[in-house]
Chain A
Amino acid sequence: MEIIKNLYKKIGFPRLIITVFLIMFLISAVGLGLSLPDLLTDIINRFGMNAIMVLAMVPTIQAGTGINLNLALGVIFGLIGALVSMEMGLQGWNSMIVAFSIAIPLAIIAGYLYGLLMNRIKGQEMTVGNYFGFSIVSLMCIFWLIAPFKNESLVWAMGGKGLRVTLTLEDSFGSLLNDFLAFKIAGVKIPTGLLLFFAICAGLVYLFTNTKTGTALRVSGSGEKFAVSNGLNVDKYRILSVIISTVLAAIGIIIYSQAFGFLQLYNAPLYVSMPAAASILIGGATLKKATITHVIIGTFLFQGLLVVALPVINIVSEGSMAEIIRITISNGIILYALTRKAGDTA
């Protein structure tokens, strides 16, 4: 009995529920005659697509700025990087490397400035971050309309001005990582490049958190007064965490887009933070504590549930149910975390 209790405590209520749902959906999917290998392929693919975005939540939570609801800032610069490389008409690895090398420096600058702001509004990071993100996305809508891009495949055919809403990545870096060293095992396609890239990013973040700077960053997050009394410059580490998070968001959207095959502009980045925040919280993170394990478990459970629920529910009932599940779960779990006392696991 004691063992079961401890195990339950370790797994936690939300994860237990989601796992049970996931298994139930998987069983009914097989029962309804859906192909299990196809579902698994989808789950793994969506895991790789979204995991870096979820990883971007780790540094800010560790440094005490909470969930970064302003992922959109990094996403915008990731999109700009990708757009510039497409404008230049690059193909294959070149286009992806150029996209990264433009997006990352821009994200560092933006992250630094946003970090300065975060230090002046301590205690309200999430609320401000959310609306800051919304403002940036809507401001960038104007930018996409008037930006001086000339490449015919990017702008509207009529008038030759203003970027299109969705841009295909077929000619540049679409599914580049997905196909890199990809192989099939028992009918399940493993996108090796995609998973490898996430592993590298996650490894770097993990190594960073164990360096001296990373430890100092975590100490700053555990309590401002304690950190200051230990001679740490809390503000500096908070800025650093925001920069890392913004850069990861920029990388994340490029990876997401290459797997998706399309670049989505205008209002698409508006709610980009919500599923990422939900994923890491489902994984067991709190507003104060987050690790790579939380990222992996959370992304897998959340994306897995979405992938499996969609076809099952489409057979049982009509279309919009999957969207309803997504909205309810992702916002429900964020609410759950917000209403817990600081430090309690979600």
Chain B
Amino acid sequence: MIVPIVFMAICAIGFYYSGLTFDFIFDEMFFRLSRNLVLVASLIIPVISGLGLNFGIVIGAMAGQIGLLFIINYGIGGMTGIVVAMIVSIPFAILFGYLVGLVLNRAKGKEMITSMILGFFANGIYQLVFIILVGRIIPFSNKSMMVNSGQGLKNTIDLLSIRKAFDNFIFGGMTRLPIAPLIFSGIIFLFIFLFFKTKLGQDMRAIGQNMQIASVAGIDVDKTRIKAIVISTVLAAWGQIIYLQNLGTFNTYTNHEQVGLFSVAALLIGGASVEKATWKEAVIGTLLFHLLFIVSPLAGQNLMGDAQIGEYFRVFVAYGVIGFALILHAMEKRNQIEKMDRLNFEDNKAAN
């Protein structure tokens, strides 16, 4: 619990020096929680299944963006548009998740670095498809999405037709706060909670604790791991759709890049580790991480006379907290292995 407390202290100091009002922060946090929680939640299942932090949710975010491109191309707006985008993203997310799972099964013990490189690699493919192939091979009927030459999508695509549609769904008349996405996030967390009560969920937990024992107990380890990644990827796709409908504009080639980094950092700041994560940590972490995001540029401006320092500081925090968590995890694992070795050694001595 030490990590969230440290960050609470940093946030408190930052808040004090930023000079922002409490009302402003309160509003802003509501929006940031509503648009990021599903993305952070998508990390929980792989963590518990022993796959570590799934940086591959970047690929899930791409699937979500494909769903959005679909509805914009056909001009489907409003809440209908969001639902259609979510449905369209599912087959893509399942396919991508399956492929990611296959790759990760070949890189056991190196899942985190592999999923991260996989994200970079997929980014190359994504650009290949949407810069080069669109307009040549993949037809788009909505010409306003493409650059003037008719090949490749524009850098920025307007999401006006679905902007805040989910945020204002049902509760839009009563309040301007995004109630519907928050309820949706709650449902996702409930789903994850209930999921771990099912047979499949229990299998995943068993694999997370010890792959060999799970395998001996008759669980198909590889298949179950793929399922964990598929669910994570689908959730990430939906998370990205919710995120972008709140923003209202869509940077075609950059919006997905930082998803993995920011979501993982948020989860870790909440006190999660590489092997353990719950909904509480996801919520606390998202809250603290985004609080830091709001206050640090202003605090940097007021403290050091340069807003840029605060900006760099928050990027450093994102990378630093991930690095720190990975170091702790690796040290712990190392100690476990050494302890096992010593026990084996003593057993052998006793046997002789």
Contact = CB atoms under 8 A, between A and B. Distances in A.
Interface string A123-143: 110111011101101110110
Interface residues of B, number: 44
Contacts of A115: none
B322 A131 contact: yes
Given A135-B320, A138-B319, A328-B124, A339 B107 contact: yes
A288 to B, nearest CB: 13
Given A121-B331, A142-B313, A335-B114, A328 B125 contact: yes
Nearest to A321: B132
A126 B323 CA distance: 11
Contacts of B121: 327-328, 331-332, 335
Contacts of A139: 316, 320
A135 B113 contact: no
B337 to A, nearest CB: 8
A123 B117 contact: no
Contacts of A141: 312, 315-316
B326 to A, nearest CB: 5
Nearest to B326: A128
Interface in B98-121: 103, 106-107, 109-110, 112-114, 116-118, 120-121
A168 B72 CA distance: 45
A122 interface: yes
A146 interface: yes
A226 B90 CA distance: 50
Contacts of B348: none
Contacts of B117: 331, 334-335, 338
A162 B307 CA distance: 13
Contacts of B219: none
A120 B333 CA distance: 10
A120 B110 contact: no
Interface in A175-192: none
B315 A138 contact: yes
A117 interface: yes
B326 A324 contact: no
Contact of B334 (A122, A323, A332, A335): A122
Nearest to A126: B113
A340 B121 CA distance: 17
Contacts of B215: none
Contacts of A328: 121, 124-125, 128
Query: Chain B binding site: helix, strand, loop or mixed by DSSP?
Result: helix
B330 A142 contact: no
Contacts of A339: 103, 106-107, 114
Contacts of B109: 123
Interface in A256-276: 274
Contacts of B118: 331, 335
B319 A135 contact: yes
Contacts of A142: 309, 312-313, 316
Nearest to A329: B124
Nearest to B311: A141
A195 to B, nearest CB: 31
B285 to A, nearest CB: 17
A128 B312 contact: no
Given A120-B334, A121-B331, A327 B120 contact: yes
A123 B337 CA distance: 11
A138 B312 contact: yes
A124, A145, A146, A274 — which one has the most chain B CB atoms within 10 A of its CB? Answer: A124
B262 to A, nearest CB: 13
A335 B330 contact: no
Contacts of B330: 120-124, 127-128
A229 interface: no
A211 interface: no
A318 interface: yes
A321 B130 CA distance: 11
A137 B319 CA distance: 9
Interface in B290-307: 304, 306
A120 B103 contact: no
Given A117-B327, A128-B327, A324-B127, A338 B120 contact: no
A121, A122, A123, A274 — which one has the most chain B CB atoms within 10 A of its CB? Answer: A121
A6 interface: no
Contacts of A130: 113, 116
Given A320-B127, A327-B124, A146 B326 contact: no
B50 interface: no
13 contacts: A120-B331, A121-B331, A123-B337, A127-B110, A127-B112, A141-B312, A324-B132, A325-B124, A327-B121, A327-B124, A327-B127, A335-B103, A339-B103
Given A128-B326, A324-B132, A325-B124, 8 more contacts: A120-B327, A122-B330, A127-B330, A135-B316, A324-B127, A327-B123, A332-B124, A339-B107
Interface of B: 103, 106-107, 109-110, 112-114, 116-118, 120-121, 123-125, 127-128, 131-132, 149, 151-152, 304, 306, 308-309, 312-313, 315-316, 318-320, 322-323, 326-327, 329-331, 333-334, 337
